[in-house]
Every structure is written in structure tokens, then in C-alpha cells.
Structure 1
Amino acid sequence: MFFARARHRGDAPFLWAKHDGAWQSLSWAEVARQVAGFAKSLRQLGLEKGDRVMLVSENRPEWCIADLGIMAAGCVTVPTYVTNTERDHQHILDDSAARAVIVSTAKLAKTLMPAALRTSQAEFIIAMEPQPAVQHGQLSMHQWSDMVQGNDADIRAAEAAMAAVTRDDLACIIYTSGTGGAPRGVMQHHGAILHNADGAAEVLREDFGLDEEEVFLSFLPLSHAYEHSGGQFLPIGVGAQIYYAEGLEKLASNIEETRPTVMVVVPRLFEVLRQRMIKAVEKQGKFPNYLLNKALTIGERDYSGRKRLSDAPMRLILSRTIKPKIQGRFGGRMKAMVSGGAPLNPDIGVFFQSLGITLLQGYGQTESGPVISCNRPKAGIKMDTVGPPLKNTEVKIAEDGEILVRGPLV
């Protein structure tokens, strides 16, 4: 899927990150060369189909390149959180039997290296940022910049190799702590991720209209299945650009700068944004507060099915005053913000809907790729539901209330 999109998009921008205060991009063609080069380098190290490669990095273009390169080599990505402790790393290294580890910064390497040295399986450390190329016991250090040198011939070789990989083959092992105990490794096959990307793309295509200028802002950890499928493979599937946010403290400014059309988020973020927006309006005086209250009152009436013709004049005023300002804070072209990972307070959903920001809620779990269902605006959004299942997904409620799911995503 990725190489097909890269051929189609060519030199158009694909991955964006901020360097020295300015957004800089890598094109689809350049990313394809680096992915193919990295896949070749992994094979040259002696990695074989099915070998696990652990990935310890914050969200950045190299994360996507590493993930795709691992899969293009026929290997299995094992993403981990940058907040993991040494003990967490040790458990995941031992449990997954990873032969290679990719680490982004020297700071993250400090927590990772002691665990990697104690494991019997790991042989290679690949550093995204320059680190001393020294031998650590059984571990040999390799520099990222040396391993991503690729060309068009490497792309052809990678595509030929991928022809032998099927939807049933293992793509990644995503560790999730669940409700307690040691992190569990959830095995996701290529078919599950493709199913999720295709089903989510259908929602965007049919309910919002897709074009070739879609922009995603990646904020949630890519080591989480939700961002991995929804914030990386969904945009790849639809040929969109991906910007990598600088972090929570700069998220508001990043949204205004990058003007995303789609974002994958969690409910807690909406709660924070709502409080900030209310406080910002309060500081502006009585009239902006009056407009905000009117927008919320009308929005709540509309949502509950009590739409009034007498609200039409106020709707016009709101559409020319407070709503454009609020939408501007979200970049001015946001089609949908999709909430998952925890239940969304319906009041928060209605709040944003009242101000012209479309908020969808989805449901899933890591074991299902992870998305099972999502609200559909065309069917009428109900904020206290998680919408109908994605296409090619069967959902049944057992007699004891357990949710049963069947389809290519499981």
C-alpha cells in the first residue's frame, strides 16, 4: 500500500517535522527510498522474515520510516513507549525475543541499554541520532543515517520481496498493559491494519469527502495501536500528509500552524481544550460570553432534536462571529476529530459540535487492529454511542453482555 501511494504521489510532501523553528518535509519518493534502503540494511545485518525489531522513539518521520522498513524487510515491528522503565524494556525484549533495537535519542538509550545488555536475543542497536559506535557486549551499534541510503532499485527489490507477504502474516506486536500486570504483546497481522485503514477511509470518504490535500497531525504515541493504525496507516492509505506535533505544550500552536483536516485524539485532550477555550472567551468580556452561551444553547437544542426556526438570525450572527474564531483555533479546515481510547463525556461532544467542530467517537481494542466502530455523521451523531461497526466487521452482544467481534481485523 505504501509503495503504491509513493509511486502515485511522487515528489509531493509526505512527512513533516519542525527543525530550528520551521516545518520541513520529506517527499513520498524520498521516504520510499529510505524505507527500501532501511529494509535492505536490515537484511544485510542478517535479519530474516519474522524476526522482531523493537522501536523506541517519540513520534517523528524516522518512526514511520523505521516501521515501514522493518515490515518491508519481512520483519515484525515491536513499538514501545518512550516512558517505559528499564524493567518494562526488559520484559518486552525478553517476551518478543527482539534481535534488533532502534532507539531515537541518547536519553532514551540510557534506560534501554541496561535492559538490552541483559537480554540474550538482541544483537543490534540502531541509533537514529548520532551516538558512539561502540561494541556493547554482544550488541553492535549502527547509525541510522548509514542504514537509510536507498535508491529506486532498492524500492523495486523491496516491492518484489513484499509480494511474498500476505494479509495473514504478522506485522507488529503492540504491547498493552490492559487492566494490570505485565504488558501483553498483541499480535496484529497486516490484514488487521489494512482492514482498519480501509474502513476508516470509507467513513472519511463517504461522510466528509476525501481529496489529495488531507493533512493529519500526529500527536498520540505511535506505539499505541490507535495512532499506529489511525494516525499513520490511515493517512498512508488515503495519500495524506502527516505532521508530527512537538508535544502537548505546543499542540495548540501546532494545530493553528499545520491546519490539519483530521486528528486522532483522546477524550482527556478535549476536556483540556474546552476549559482553555471557556477561559479565553471569559477574558474577552460580556459580548463574547453571550455569543458562546447562545452557541451552546442552540447547539444543545439542535442535538436533542428541538431545532427552532426562530434561532435562524442568531445562527447567522454566530456563523460570522464566534464560530470562525473557534474553527480558526483548529486551523480552519478540520473535517473531523476522532476520539477513542476511553469513553467521551457526551456534554463535551455537544460542546464542540455546537461550535462547528465535528467530533466523532470510536470504539475498539488493540486486539482488533484496533478500531471496531465509529460514529457516522450521515447517520446522525449520537454522542453517547460509538457508532456502527466499520465495514466487513461483525459485532454481536452475548447474553452476558460481552461484546463479540468477528472479521479480518481479529
Structure 2
Amino acid sequence: MAPRDSIDIRQTSHDTPPTLLHCLLKWERERPDAVYLTQPLADGTVADYTWREVADQARRMAAYLRGRNYPPGSSIAILGKNSAHWMIADLAIWMAGHVSVPVYSTANAETVSYVLDHSEAKLMFVGRLDGDEKGWLAVASGVASGFPLINLPLSARREGEQWDAIVAATPPLDNVAMPDPAALATIIYTSGSTGTPKGVMHSFRTMCEVPRLAAVIINNGRGASHDDRMLSYLPLAHCAERQGVESLSLCYGFRVYFSHDLTTFAADLHRARPTIFLSVPRLWIKFYQAVAQKISPRKQRMAFRLPLVSGLLKKKLLAALGLDQVATAFTGSAALPTEVITWYRNLGLELLDGYGMTENYAYSHFNRPGGSARIGYVGPCLPGVEARLSEEGEILVKSPGLMMGYYKASDDTADCFTPDGFLRTGDRGQIDDQGYLRIIGRVKDQFKTAKGKYVAPVPIEAKLGEHPRMESVCVTGPGRSQPFVLATLNEETRRELAQGADRDALAGELEQLLDEVNARLEPHERLDRIVVLRDAWTIERGQMTPTMKIRRAVIENDFLWKSHQWDAVSERVVFDQ
């Protein structure tokens, strides 16, 4: 661990703060009464925290942590959904001279136990979890008896030490441990579509430099400012939200709003009216489908052709979604159907698709604003990034966001890099003559049919996912004569089926989809059938990652044993219900 120096916070002055902690103290000094964090509460009210209040609470908790006399650079974990105090706890950990270790709020007891043990955590902050008290009880067995826990203000856990009581009783820390930019700041455990989570180590320098370098994709290349607003709702335990919301807001000093839960999401989004909005394909699609349910795509197209109606309708649609103030909109983690991207563009919202990994702090490739974004591609290299393809088509990347390595896994770290320092991403891609990258899928996702031909499932899944009925798809079939599809339908369609909707009509739609997709595939890739599963895949059952990517190995293990039953029927669309 690199050494840290203690300094008097009142003497801190940096034109370009070298770490996020320096940024906090800059905004505390320059904008003390401006609201930084807005937290919705269960009763419908909100709590606002100014830069002065955030820094004060962080300093008081840091003093408490210092008083526990942990060795410098100790790991301190944070378990909970996004909240103002999740971020304040992160800052307090750094102020005390320690390393923060986020834990997904959806993690099960086994994963919580693994992360605490592997990171050698000394203490854990416990925030709000899905199901509140039941959520905590579901993971409590993963925490050793007597392990130190501090409850954040929204935690349903009532026993033990409480954040508010500690802050009220503890004088603020006068001398904050200002970190060396090269020192370890955080260990981010991969959500992982396969295998045991790895602890990705990132430095203070990476966490502060990356959002500055990413200015080229924000506000038409001008970068963020303290007039911007964001809504934080994707997991802060994942590097995309950590980089795109926490790091970005601390660097530029803008306001962050939080979402209480799914039932209040629309209201939370309308409250924030974000100017920068980061989302995943599933939510972009849900927005699109919600509008299509009220105004059919055919009626929209007719209205958009009328000059006097078109502009007003587009503004009303964006306002109804809470996105009318968005100047910069990001998507990522999976392909978004062309129809959906085009629809948003037609409304005047340019969705920028990008690519990155936990190992490079989500800083690799991104489409640029201003009309140069290419559908189906994740853009050219971001500033300072180099990329190439291996002979096998694996994407190799050098980035200013590269990790320090995997925690306590030197062999894995060595295996992850080429001899000349490029990160082996594990993703297959194509790079066109303009340097734009297209993701083909994971190197290990390919499977071989009985004919000895390899199938890359991800591009096929992207084609299937364009159908409005689809929620999640998994193309599979290793060792079979032809691949097939496991699919879950969107919530509305599942509800219609449960209420007795005509399955034959739906089967006809899906058969047509099969024909359309197969017409664009090589003979060995053509899909034999679609198997429609009754229940949505979930994070809790391990079928989805916390960032809503499918866990292919889990899904195949859960369902492929039934393939002989589906083979026994002649239908091309099978309802496994």
C-alpha cells in the first residue's frame, strides 16, 4: 500500500484535484451550501445533503473508523442499494485511510461470505436491501458472528451500531488522510457471468482521471458541469455506475438523485429530470414499450409525419418519460435493438452505446455525440485507449482505466495481460476501417454443433431481442444438429398468457420471427425452435448478473436437461409452461 500523508483540510487547494477525496474538499470549500445528494424516503419526502453536510458526515464517520485502530489500508465493505449514505460511507472509508469494497445488494449469503473473507474486510456498512428485513435475514448467515457492522440510515437492520448515532456522537476528523493517487482506493468484485468473483483493484488516480478523459462523450464534448443532474439507480457496486455517477459527480460537482425502489422509479426520475442518463437495454426497451402500449407505433409514425404535431408530440413523450432534460444518454452492457435506438433518435434523444469492463473501470470504447454514432457498434477508442484483435478475434485493450490487478490473484493477473500490457477482455469483436468496434460475443460463449461447426450466440440473440415480445434470450444447443432458443417473454405478454390469451397467435408471431432471423444466418446457425419458458430469469436464482446479463452456464444447467422433451414434439414454438 502506498503511503498517505495527513493534511489540514482547510489548507487543501488544487486546480485539478488528483483524487475524488480532493474533489470533495474542493466543492465543500467552493460550494458548501449547494445540494449534492437527494435521497427519497419511504414516506414520499426527500432528504437533501449539501456538500458541507456530506463532507461533515464523512469526516465524523472517518474519525470513528480511525478510532477502531485498523491497520492503514484495511478493507471496509459496503452492502446495500444505492443511497446518499452509500456514497458518504465510501468517502468516509477513504478519509480514514482505508479501502472500500462494494458488495452487490442482490448478493446471496455465500457471495457475501466470500467477499468479506477474500477481501479481509474489517467492518461492513449495511444499507437497504430488497425485502428490507427479509433481505438482510437472507444474507445474514454469510456474516460471521461478532463481525463489526454499522447500519446506514435506510437499513432495516435494527440491532447493532447505527450511522446516525455514531455521527451525532463523534467529533469530525480534523486531519483527513489524503491519498497518494497511485494508492489502492477500492476492490470491485466482478458480478461475473461465470466463475468465482475476482477482486479488481483500482487506484485513486484511475477513479479521478477516467471521468475527466470521458468528457468527449458528455454534453456534446464539453464535459459535465455542476449544472448537470443524474439519477443513481444501477448498482453502485458495479464499475459503470461507480464511474458514471459517483466519480463523475465528484469530479464535476453536480447533483445526484437516488431512486427509492421500482414502485417509485417513475416519480424519482421525474423529480431528478436528469441531464445525463445512464441505463441498460432492458430499461430503454421498457420505456419504448410503455409508450407503444398507449400510442401504437403505426399511430406514432402517422403523427410524426405531420409538421405541426410531430415536434410537440416528441417533446410530450420525452417529458412523460422524465427524459425531456437529458442532453447525454448512455446505453451499454448488451446490444439494443435497432428499432429502439432509431425510435429514440427520432424523438431527439441520441443514445450513445459504449463498451468497457470492470478491469478498465468501464473506460474503453464509446460512440461520440453529434450524429457520428453507428448502430450496432460500441464506437471508437476513447482518448488514451489502444485496441487490437488477437488472431482468435479477442479484443485486446490498453486503457488509462486499467486495473492494478486482481486482489490476491497474481497468476490470474498475469494471465489477463499480453506480454506488451494489453488486457485480454475475453470478448470477440470486429474493428472496421474507421476504428469502430463491434462486439461479437464472449470467446468462451461459442459452442460447437454436432456437425462440428461453431456458433456465436450473442449476435443471434441480438436479432431475436429486437422482437417486442422478448425479454431475455439464450441461444444454445452444444452437440445438437442445430441450435435453438430458450426465451422469456416480457411482463405484459406473460400476464396476457396467464389470463388466457391465444397461444396459437403468439406462436405464429414467434414462428415468423424464427423465419426472419434464420433467413439472415448461415445454415449451421439456423435455429431449430424457440422454447418459451414460463418465468422470467432473475438475479436471485443466479440466472442474471446484477447488471442484467444472462448467466449462460446457469441457464443451460437449469433447462437443457429438458431438451429431450422438447425434441419429442413437432412444433417450432414450444411453451414450457
The interval holding the TM-score normalised by the smaller chain is 0.7 to 0.9
The alignment's C-alpha RMSD in Å is 2.4
Which amino acid counterpart does residue 394 of structure 2 have in structure 1? E
In structure 1, give the amino acid aligned to 2:70: L
Could you say which residue in structure 2 is the equivalent of 1:327?
Answer: 318
Distance 2:285 2:231 in 1: 19
- Residue in structure 1 matched with residue 572 of structure 2 by the alignment: none
Of the candidates 138, 141, 144, which is equivalent to residue 111 of structure 1?
138
Match of 1:127 in 2: 151
Cα gap change, 1:187/1:323 in structure 2, threshold over 3 Å: closer, same or farther? same
Q: Which runs of 5+ in 2 are unaligned?
A: 1-22, 403-577
What's the CA shift for 1:65? 0.3
1 CA distance for matches of 2:53 and 2:317? 36
Query: Quick one: structure 1 residues 40 and 61, their matched pair in 2 at CA, closer, same or farther if it must change by over 3 Å?
Result: same
Q: Deviations over 1:38-89 (max 9, x none)?
A: 1111111112322111111111111000111112222111111122111111
Instruction: Find the counterpart in structure 2 of residue 191 from structure 1.
Output: 205
User: CA–CA distance in 2 between the matches of 1:291 and 1:125?
Assistant: 53
1:229 paired to 2:251: no
CA-CA distance at 1:153 after TM superposition:
6.3
Pairwise CA distance, 1:289: 5.0
Unaligned stretches of 5+ in structure 1? 134-140, 283-287, 296-310
Matched, 1:157 2:166: no
Cα gap change, 1:109 to 1:289, in 2 (>3 Å): same
Q: 1:22 to 1:182 in 2, by over 3 A?
A: same
> Conserved in 1, the CA contact under 8 Å of 2:280 and 2:331?
yes
Aligned to 1:178: 192
Percent of aligned pairs with the same residue?
30
- Cα distance 1:221–1:71, how it changes in 2: closer, same or farther (>3 A)? same
Over 3 Å counting, the alpha-carbon distance change for 1:195 and 1:343 in structure 2 is farther
SS at match of 2:376: coil
Supply the distance in 2 between the matched residues of 1:90 and 1:343 (Cα, whole angstroms): 33
**Alignment-derived partner of residue 18 in structure 1:** 40
What amino acid sits opposite 1:339 in the alignment? T
Q: Bigger shift: 177-186 or 333-342?
A: 177-186
Secondary structure at the aligned position of 1:399 is classed as coil
For the residues of structure 1 that align with 2:221 and 2:375, how far apart are their CA atoms?
17
Equivalent in the alignment of 2:388:
396
* Alignment check: 8 A CA contact 1:200 1:234 kept: no
Counterpart residue number, 2:161: 142
For 1:260, give the aligned amino acid. Answer: P
Give the letter for the 1:54 counterpart.
Answer: A
Work out whether residues 226 and 341 of structure 1, in 8 Å CA contact, stay in contact via their aligned partners in 2: no
Give the number of the structure with larger relative contact order, counting CA–CA contacts within 8 Å between residues 6 or more apart: 1
TM-score, normalised to structure 1's length?
Answer: 0.84
1:181-207 Cα distance to aligned partner (Å, 9 max, x none)? 222222122222223211223421543
Change (3 A) 1:90 1:210: closer
1:308 aligns to what?
A: none
How many residues are paired up? Answer: 372
1:210-256 per-position Cα deviation (integer Å, ceiling 9, x unaligned):
44321101110111111111121112211110000122333223222
Aligned to 1:252: 266
Residues in 2 aligned to 1:48 and 1:293: alpha-carbon distance in whole angstroms: 67
Residue 325 of structure 1, CA deviation: 0.5
Q: Whole-Å Cα distance in 2 between the matches of residues 201 and 152 of structure 1?
A: 38
1:5/1:237 contact within 8 Å kept: no
Deviations along 1:321-342, whole A, 9 cap, x unmatched?
2111012122421112211222
How far off its partner does 1:366 sit?
0.5
Higher Cα Rg, which structure = 2
Contact 1:76 1:172 in 2 (8 A): yes
Q: Which residue of 2 aligns with 1:301?
A: none
Change beyond 3 A, Cα 1:48–1:41: same
- Residue in 2 that maps onto 1:370: 362
Change (3 A) 1:377 1:397: same
1:299 corresponds to which residue? none
Q: Is the 8 A contact 1:258 1:331 kept in 2?
A: no
For 2:62, the equivalent position in structure 1 comes to: 39
Aligned residue for 1:279, secondary structure, equals helix
1:136 maps to none
Give the partner amino acid of 1:198: R
**1:91 aligned residue:** 114
**Mapped partners of 2:67, 2:291: distance in 1:** 53
Distance 2:307 2:25 in 1: 46
Secondary structure at the counterpart of residue 201 of structure 1:
helix
Secondary structure in 2 matching 1:148 = helix
What is the rounded CA distance, in whole Å, between the counterparts of 2:329 and 2:54 in structure 1? 27
Cα 1:209–1:123 shift into 2, 3 Å = closer
Give the direction of change, closer, same or farther, for the CA distance of 1:359–1:205 in structure 2 (3 Å limit): closer
SS at match of 1:343: coil
Query: What pairs up with 1:190-339 in 2 under 5 angstroms?
Result: 190-207=204-221, 210-282=224-296, 289-293=298-302, 295=304, 314-315=306-307, 317-319=309-311, 321-329=312-320, 330-339=322-331
User: After superposition, what is the alpha-carbon deviation per residue over 1:123-172, rounded to whole angstroms, capped at 9, x for unaligned?
Assistant: 42111248555xxxxxxx43211333599963x511xx21xx22321111
TM-score, normalization: structure 2?
0.60
Secondary structure at the residue paired with 2:353? strand
CA deviation after TM superposition for structure 1 residue 272, in Å: 1.1
Q: Write out per-residue CA displacement over residues 312-358 of structure 1, whole angstroms, 9 at most, x where no aligned residue.
A: xx455411x21110121224211122112222223221111111122
2:182 corresponding residue in structure 1 = 168
In 2 relative to 1, CA 328–91 (structure 1 residues): closer, same or farther, beyond 3 Å? same
